[in-house]
């Protein structure tokens, strides 16, 4: 499972405050905890600072990369901010995100190609957000085909079918699972990811729902997720689910985690 640590996001009040204060020690501690817990990428987002986003994002890239060895997922609605952050980033970043929206696609694709970046491909278009599984599948297929045609390697593409809260639509979980399975079978070289915690928004005991859904997603072919890696039970369930779906062949990662006491 390719885990994208979600915690350094300026939409979270505490993180926004610490970014504004330039609290380097606090931000680095959050980054290091996510890395230690098993994050493959550390997402950094300064989008809550509309006028100062680029300055804050560049600061985040610098201080987080100073503290961890993992690459970053550069998360911004602004192509200009993504470009500046990718130039600042050491090594190969992940770009969060590209869509089928004509303007967004045209502005972000050159950044993805210039830096040979991994890219989260959101299943949405100029027609708007997807309404159902069929929309997610159609948008996802079109994005995969278009990105590959434009020179992005399939293994660099992380398709996100877009999760809406189950509290608003009780069928959305089934829609997402159908999309995950179909898209993962459409091209075996791509990755399937999602902002998983959106599924539980508005309901109590959110971590329980998140934990259940990640197991269900893995069973359908999801191999990445934007999550809180400090959710210890979720990380354990990921390891167990990967054994049961043969994503962890011969249970090598599971056994390694067990020997290290990570499953206790």
Q: In what order do the strands lie in the sheet with 191-192?
A: 191-192, 157-160, 118-122, 94-98, 72-75, 41-45, 2-9, 224-227
Please report whether residue 87 resides in a domain: yes
Please report whether residue 55 resides in a domain: yes
For position 1, what pLDDT does the model report?
A: 96
How far, in Å, CA of 132 to CA of 126, rounded?
16
Average pLDDT, consecutive stretches of 10 residues, N- to C-terminus, the chain (264 residues): 98 98 98 98 97 97 98 98 98 98 98 98 97 98 98 98 97 98 98 97 98 98 98 98 97 96 94
Please report whether residue 15 resides in a domain: yes
Please report whether residue 54 resides in a domain: yes
Q: How many domains does the chain have?
A: 1
What would the pLDDT profile of 64-109 be if each residue is shown by its tens digit?
999 999 999 999 999 999 999 999 999 999 999 999 999 999 999 9
Please report whether residue 51 resides in a domain: yes
Range of the domain at 74: 1-91
Burial per residue of 70-91, b for 16 or more beta-carbon CB atoms within 10 angstroms, e otherwise: bbbbbbbebbebbbbbbebbee
- Please state whether beta strands 118-122 and 94-98 pair in parallel, antiparallel, or not at all (unpaired): parallel
Please report whether residue 46 resides in a domain: yes
* pTM more than 0.75: yes
For position 107, what pLDDT does the model report?
A: 98
Please report whether residue 256 resides in a domain: no
- Please state whether beta strands 41-45 and 2-9 pair in parallel, antiparallel, or not at all (unpaired): parallel
Please report whether residue 110 resides in a domain: no
For position 19, what pLDDT does the model report?
A: 98
Cα torsion at 106, 72, 5, 75 (round to 10°)?
A: -30
């Amino acid at each position: 499972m390719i885990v994208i640590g979600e915690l350094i996001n300026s939409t979270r009040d505490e993180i926004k405050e610490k970014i504004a204060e330039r609290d380097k020690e606090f931000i680095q501690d959050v980054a290091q905890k996510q890395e230690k817990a098993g994050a493959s990428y550390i997402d950094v987002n300064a989008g809550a600072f509309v006028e100062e986003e680029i300055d804050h994002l560049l600061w985040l890239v610098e201080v987080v990369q100073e503290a961890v060895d993992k690459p970053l997922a550069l998360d911004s609605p602004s192509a200009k901010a993504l470009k500046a952050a990718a130039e600042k980033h050491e090594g190969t970043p992940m770009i969060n995100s590209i869509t089928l929206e004509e303007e967004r696609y045209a502005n972000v694709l050159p950044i993805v190609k210039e830096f040979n970046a991994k890219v989260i491909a959101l299943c949405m278009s100029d027609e708007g957000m997807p309404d159902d599984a069929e929309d997610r599948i159609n948008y996802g297929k079109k994005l995969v085909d278009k990105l590959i045609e434009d020179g992005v390697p399939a293994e660099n593409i992380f398709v996100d079918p877009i999760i809406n809260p189950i509290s608003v639509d009780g069928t959305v979980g089934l829609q997402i699972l159908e999309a995950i399975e179909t898209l993962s079978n459409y091209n075996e070289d791509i990755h399937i990811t999602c902002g998983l915690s959106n599924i539980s928004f508005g309901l109590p005991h959110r971590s329980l729902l998140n934990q259940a859904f990640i197991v269900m997603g893995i069973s359908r072919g999801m191999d990445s997720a934007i999550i809180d890696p400090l959710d210890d039970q979720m990380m354990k369930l990921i390891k167990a689910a990967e054994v049961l779906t043969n994503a962890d062949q011969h249970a090598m990662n599971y056994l390694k985690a067990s020997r290290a006491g990570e499953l206790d």
